[in-house]
Structure formats: C-alpha cells, structure tokens
Chain A
Amino acid sequence: AQSVTQLGSHVSVSEGALVLLRCNYSSSVPPYLFWYVQYPNQGLQLLLKYTTGATLVKGINGFEAEFKKSETSFHLTKPSAHMSDAAEYFCAVSAIVPGGSYIPTFGRGTSLIVHP
C-alpha cells in the first residue's frame, strides 16, 4: 500500500519569500511522485513529477522538488513566492501494484497563502 502525508494544511508566506511545501510518502515499491496545483474553481494541473533519474526535478512556474529516498520525502520549493502562486497544492505517489495498475494516492493538500 502507498500513502502520502502533507505536513501543514496551510502555509503562509510573504511575497518574495521562500516557499516550502512538505510531502512524505510511503510505498513498498519504487514510486513515481507528483505535485499538482489547483487554482480556485479549477481542476488539478501537473506541476512536476519524479519518475527515475535526476532526483531534483524542475517544474512550471519556477517550482522544483527533490526526491530523497532515505527520507521518503518529495518537498516542493520555490525561491521567491509570487501572489499568483496562491493555490492548493497536492502531492501524489503512484506505484505499480499487483495486476499492473498505476493508481496514484493523493495527499490532503496544502493551501499556500501569499501575503503582499
């Protein structure tokens, strides 16, 4: 079984400050890891993903995340927050299970609030 824990349902930062959204996962097999962003009244949009290879992955809008196997973490960062980054962020883990299906498990989400 796989699971995702996002620490903090809300994260508040000032515009221009570092953004750090935490995600820890558990998986019995090598995982694929994703971050999605959801703006108000919208669906989820893929921000970035880790499958294999380089553990530091870059995504859209200046976001990046680092896969740390020893810590079972995949934290999302952005050096400088912008007002337009205010949204809900979801971490997801996907792994192949018996039967051959890849079904992702999503975290509860973290709401990013950006203050002027």
Chain B
Amino acid sequence: ETGVTQTPRHLVMGMTNKKSLKCEQHLGHNAMYWYKQSAKKPLELMFVYNFKEQTENNSVPSRFSPECPNSSHLFLHLHTLQPEDSALYLCASSQASQTNYGYTFGSGTRLTVV
C-alpha cells in the first residue's frame, strides 16, 4: 500500500463513547498532521508532529488527544465529543524539511457525533 491511509472511513459515535482514528503513511515522511474540515469553514489545523514530536496544537479541546508512536503512524483519540465535532477529519504527511513540496492527504474519516 502507498500514500496516506485513514481508518475508519466513517464513524458514528455517541457523546459518551471513546474511539480512535488511525492514520498511516507509507511515503517515508517525517511530519504528520491532523486537520478538521467542517462544512462552510476553512480547513482547521489541529495538530502537527515533526519526527514524532508534537510541535503545534492549535487550541484544540482536550477531548481530542493525538498520539504519534512513530513517524509512520498517527492516532486521534476521541472522548466525550459534542455534536459540533461532527466533521471530516483529514490526516496529512510531508517531509518536514521540504514542505514546499506540499502535503499528501488521506481520504479522511467522516465522523458523526450523535
């Protein structure tokens, strides 16, 4: 498999549930990102990891918890979410030192909080 793979593609969860989103990249990149895409809003950067270290956290609520065990895998742990957290969550990767090459995005996880 190549590129950036996100699982699951769709997720419906209740507000009291705990779930995790998974992202895996097979490109040899060393930077990974979580973005939130909501209808009628700009793409929102949530977290940035460079060489497995979190370098950016854009004031994301604590109910979202990222984890980057190695440079190929990125998780987003979810708990006690709100209906307004329903969105498409996109993972992306890049070569940290060469971000002028652009990002490679996964297909996203469509999250619905009920």
Using a CB–CB distance below 8 Å, which chain A residues touch chain B? 32, 34, 36, 41-46, 49, 51, 90, 94, 101-104, 106-109
Contacts and interface: CB of A to CB of B under 8 A. Distances in A.
Contacts, number: 53
A103 B104 contact: no
A104 B102 CA distance: 9
Interface residues of B, number: 24
Interface in B37-90: 40-43, 45, 48, 50, 55-56, 90
B96 to A, nearest CB: 8
Contact of B108 (A43, A49, A51, A108): A43
A102 B102 contact: no
B56 A103 contact: yes
Nearest to A101: B55
A42 B110 CA distance: 10
A44 B100 contact: no
Given A42-B108, A44-B43, A103-B48, 8 more contacts: A43-B105, A49-B102, A101-B48, A101-B55, A102-B100, A106-B43, A108-B41, A109-B43
